[in-house]
Amino acid sequence: MKIAVCVKQVPDSWAEKKMLNGLLDRDGVDAVLNDLDEYAVEEALKLVEAHGGNGEGGSNTVTLISMGPERTKEAVRKALSMGADEAIVVTDPALVGSDVLTTSRVLAAVIAGGGFDLVFCGTESTDARMSVVPAMLAQRLGWAQLTFAGSVQVDPDSRSVTITRVTEAGVDTIKAKFPAIISVNDKINEPRYPSFKGIMASKKKTIDVRALAALGLDAASVGVSGAWSIVNDATPRPPRAAGIKIVDEGAAGEALAAFLAEKKFI
Amino acid sequence: MSDVLILVEYSSDTIAKTTYELATCAARAGAVTALILAAPGKGHALASQITTGPISSVLVIESDDFAKHSVAASADAISQIVQDRKPAALLIASTAFGKEVAARVAVQTESGIITDAIDVAGDLTATQSVFGGSAIVHSHIVHGTAIITVRPNSVTADLSPSTPVVADASFSISDTAKLAEVISSEPFVRGGRPELTEAQIVVSGGRGTNGDFAVIEAFADSLGAAVGASRAATDAGWYPHSHQVGQTGQTVSPQLYVACGISGAIQHRAGMQTSKTIVVVNKDPDAPLFEIADFGVVGDLFAVLPQATEGIRARTS
Ligand SMILES: Cc1cc2nc3c(=O)[nH]c(=O)nc-3n(C[C@H](O)[C@H](O)[C@H](O)COP(=O)(O)OP(=O)(O)OC[C@H]3O[C@@H](n4cnc5c(N)ncnc54)[C@H](O)[C@@H]3O)c2cc1C
Ligand SMILES: Nc1ncnc2c1ncn2[C@@H]1O[C@H](COP(=O)(O)O)[C@@H](O)[C@H]1O
């Protein structure tokens, strides 16, 4: 099987984020591999390990795909050290300020040319927090959409894949044939830590860096000028007015009930 | 007047309050048409329930494919209506399903998309709360129909009486929308409590419960609240995953959020920081969630909650 995993480099979740001219100031914070994408990498690796392996002598490949600034390569390197085989990184100055429609168009262009059977994604990027890229990829490519998977079962012989999706209302079991876009949630597995051997091996793996032109996409249709949603302004939220804080000395439960009554919640 | 569409939200054959919140935002920008996507025979029954809210007309779209092919089929039907009518905006509830439908419609109709809005103005400027609530962003869409998903419970619904005109819409669903098939669907048993994302009050428990959610549930029931949990609690198997609040769980925006034995990691805050009033019960005075609490109790939840539950019962009975 040929598997791809879409991974994104994001500002560290724990770092304070700032806006700069209506865009996220990406240079001012540490950048890491989107932690939700680690579950996608892990699921892809588990899948190939169960069906003949990858790497030297394996019958499958796991290719990482990412769009982002030059330093995205660092995040991609981490996923390579987990065990993926190779990576394609799309980076181009024209892409700065792209909206999600552009991101999905760029990723779809890479996927369309790759001959993949399955593409794994995380459920959301921790910076954009939209959870829409996988659905957009399925729509653009005309592939099956299997998103928010809590479990994935693949039968390479019949080229079919079945997932369970936990929704607000219940659990759905959804089935499709290859090719499919799958996004996996953070309950599905425990992502591995890169081993020393994995880290050393990743240094020899290829990262194929592509500019927009290599994808046949026009610079004018991407970036800020090609974005279909525009930020008018971004302002720090006024800090919440300091609240009441009491220490329980035996009557705090009653005080809480009184507070709730005063605020008309009861 | 501009044409503005909303996608009706319902669960178990009842129109959800979120529908009227969407209508309230949409009506600021134009005349509202509500789309009902439902199984054959169910759509008109739902339409007849709409007797309030600023809704001028209802379009009923019925097909078995919506249950069978989920997001992709719904997006296909809606895209055709958007292509026909070229409305100024399409508002959808910001749930996992709603966002994915919006995403596919945006691609199909070449429209811009904004997700997780907490408000939408008459000129279709959307307000979002980003970076764990530390910034407020205003943005707008400059291409196609403005596709905006709005977080449930963010705006006060206008529930004045209305008598919308009901019509049926014709559409077809493409083969590519049928590639993924729902082969079984097991609904959760609700057990009488309100739905998490719609509830006015949410009471959540974390690792501090040590697995004992009985005190959380008793307190929640005294307030008629929904029950939520931190990831530490769902990972431990103490409460179902579907009740997780946070980045990889549900996003809630209730009038009142009570966090018990939850420290306040950024991923948890991501799912509750737009709650109007926040109460925190935690025995560690330095727990980060106290920073955003309107009322904080430093104490043992096993002492504080039963006493509070009794205090509430005494006031309500
Ligand atoms: C990719 C990713 C996604 C995540 N998504 C989510 C998510 O969606 N939702 C989420 O919640 N987390 C999420 N997390 C996890 C998050 O980082 C925290 O680990 C988690 O929220 C901690 O849960 P907690 O507050 O219950 O536990 P802890 O951080 O262990 O806090 C327990 C608290 O209980 C208090 N306590 C203990 N005993 C008592 C008592 N008897 N009475 C009162 N207080 C007591 C303690 O003082 C402590 O503050 C995610 C993490 C990652 C990496
Ligand atoms: N720039 C990107 N490069 C590669 N993959 C991405 C990118 N943006 C989003 N994704 C994938 O899409 C998923 C959902 O992201 P989002 O819709 O931005 O919340 C992520 O978990 C990634 O798997």
Q: What is the 3-state secondary structure (H, E, C) of chain B?
A: CCEEEEECCEECCEECHHHHHHHHHHHCCCEEEEEEEECCCCHHHHHHCCCECCCCEEEEEECCHHHHHHHHHHHHHHHHHHHHHCCCEEEEECCHHHHHHHHHHHHHHCCCEEEEEEEECCCCCEEEEECCCCEEEEEEECCCCEEEEECCCCCCCCCCECCCEEEECCCCCCHHHHCCEEEEEEECCCCCCCCCCCCCEEEEECHHHCCCCHHHHHHHHHHCCEEEECHHHHHCCCCCHHHEECCCCECCCCCEEEEECCCCCHHHHCCCCCCCEEEEEECCCCCHHHHHCCEEEECCHHHHHHHHHHHHHHHHC
Contact (CB<8Å) B185/A173: yes
Q: What residue type is assigned to position B228 of the chain? A: G
Q: Which two tokens stand for residue B240?
A: 């179902």
Interface with A, mutate which of B258, B294, B301 (most A CBs under 10 A): B294
Q: Is the CB of residue A39 less than 8 Å from the CB of residue A122?
A: yes
Q: Is B221 left (phi over 0), alpha (psi -120 to 50) or beta?
A: alpha
Q: Which two tokens stand for residue B90?
A: 């399409």
**Under-50 pLDDT residues of chain A:** none
Q: Report DSSP state, residue A231.
A: E
What pLDDT sits at residue B237?
96
Q: How far, in Å, is the centroid of ligand 1 from the Cα of B233?
A: 8
Question: Exposure string (b/e) for A119-134, b if CB count within 10 Å is 16 or more?
Answer: bbbbbbbbbbbbbbbb
Q: Which residue of B has its CA nearest to A141?
A: B176
Q: Whose CA is nearest to atom 11 of ligand 1?
A: B230
List per-residue pLDDT tens for chain B, 317 residues long: 899 999 999 988 899 999 999 999 999 999 999 999 999 999 999 999 999 999 999 999 999 999 999 999 999 999 999 999 999 999 999 999 999 999 999 999 999 999 999 999 999 999 998 877 778 999 999 999 999 999 999 999 999 999 999 999 989 999 999 999 999 999 887 778 999 999 999 999 999 999 999 999 999 999 999 999 999 999 999 999 999 999 999 999 999 999 999 999 999 999 999 999 999 999 999 999 999 999 999 999 999 999 999 999 999 98
Q: How far, in Å, is the centroid of ligand 1 from the Cα of B236?
A: 11
Q: How far, in Å, is the centroid of ligand 2 from the Cα of B49?
A: 39
Q: Whose CA is nearest to atom 8 of ligand 2?
A: A8
**Residues of A in Cβ contact (< 8 Å) with B106:** 101, 136
CA A50 to chain centre: 23
Of B241, B250, B203, B198, nearest to B225 (Cα)? B203
A125 Cβ inside 6 Å of ligand 2:
yes
Task: Check CB contact of A123 with chain B, cutoff 8 Å.
Answer: yes
Q: What residue type is assigned to position B280 of the chain? A: V
Contact (CB<8Å) A229/B140: yes
Of A143, A117, A176, nearest to B176 (Cα)? A143
Contact (CB<8Å) A232/B181: no
Distance in Å, alpha carbon of A49 to nearest chain B alpha carbon: 25
Task: Check CB contact of A185 with chain B, cutoff 8 Å.
Answer: yes
Q: Whose CA is nearest to atom 52 of ligand 1?
A: B267
Residues making up chain A, counted from first to last: 266
Is the overall model pTM greater than 0.90, yes or no? Answer: yes
